[in-house]
Amino acid sequence: MPEQKSPPRLLVDGPYGAPAQDFRNYDVLLLVGLGIGATPFISILRDLLNNIKLADELMDLSMETSRSEDSSNTFSVSTASSNKRRAYRTSRAHFYWVTREPGSFEWFKSVMDEVAEMDKKGVIELHNYLTSVYEERDARTTLLSMVQALNHAKNGIDIVSGTRVRTHFARPNWREEFTRISAKHPGSTVGVFYCGKPTLAKELKKLSLEMSRKTMTRFHFHKEYF
């Protein structure tokens, strides 16, 4: 306005970081993506594998160098490996991809196969869930489950997703999954990261609080809606 002598106030809201960007602060990751919500977690899985692979290579190199007479190289490589492991705390991840449409598995087919192939030490557990099919113990899916199991055992390929990751039917029993993870990682701090619709976020947050009280494993919940 012409009569205004001072500049207007400018209010800035943000920027906001993605909740999953702090995943390196946890011992174990529990990643849950609904449909396209799996997108932010794919890069996390690859980053996790690449960093663990690099740390292992540095450790192997350190052991080889320690046998040589060059003590200065031994110190530098050992220090680099040690610093890498301290900077990257995460050692395990459990990834759950839940979708209604079988065609959705085509989105990240190559990435899922790449992760399964790179993960020689079982660092990452991959779980695909197709909710548009009756659960596995239902009589209506018995034949499909049998064919699926036989083909996966023979060829290593899932007939539903077309990847090396076997597809489960119906929705996950989240209480059972939380119980299994807490038993597998006692005393660890688990980062629970969810990307999807708000409905499931309430259940995951509730279970994170409950299991943190009842077990020795601590679950920290983070969400992102799409």
Higher-pLDDT residue of 219, 152: 219
In a domain, 93, yes or no: yes
**For residue 93, what pLDDT band results from cuts at 50, 70 and 90?**
very high
Higher-pLDDT residue of 72, 152: 152
Give the model's pLDDT for residue 214: 95
In a domain, 109, yes or no: yes
Report DSSP letters for the chain, one per residue. Answer: -TT--SPPP---------GGGGGGG-SEEEEEEEGGGGHHHHHHHHHHHHHHHHHHHHHHHHHHHHTSS-HHHHHHHHHHHHHHHHH----EEEEEEEES-GGGGGTTHHHHHHHHHH-TT--EEEEEEETTS--TTSGGGHHHHHHHHHHHHHHS--TTTSSSSPEEES---HHHHHHHHHHHSTT-EEEEEEEE-HHHHHHHHHHHHHHHHHSS-EEEEEEEE-
In a domain, 169, yes or no: yes
Out of 32-36, 131-135, 169-173, 219-223, pick the least confident. Answer: 131-135
pLDDT tens per residue, range 23-71: 889 999 999 999 888 888 888 888 887 887 787 777 777 777 766 655 5
Give the model's pLDDT for residue 43: 84
Total domains present in the chain: 1
Give the model's pLDDT for residue 142: 57
Output the pTM of the full model.
Answer: 0.74
In a domain, 11, yes or no: no
pLDDT score of 1 more than 60? no
In a domain, 37, yes or no: yes
In a domain, 214, yes or no: yes
CATH number of residue 182's parent domain: 3.40.50.80
In a domain, 19, yes or no: no
pLDDT score of 86 more than 70? no
Higher-pLDDT residue of 102, 201: 201
In a domain, 98, yes or no: yes
pLDDT score of 73 more than 80? no
Higher-pLDDT residue of 76, 155: 155
Domain range spanning residue 39?
Answer: 32-52+89-223
**For residue 140, what pLDDT band results from cuts at 50, 70 and 90?**
low
Arithmetic mean of pLDDT over the chain: 78
Average pLDDT of the segment spanning 171-186: 94
Give the model's pLDDT for residue 75: 46
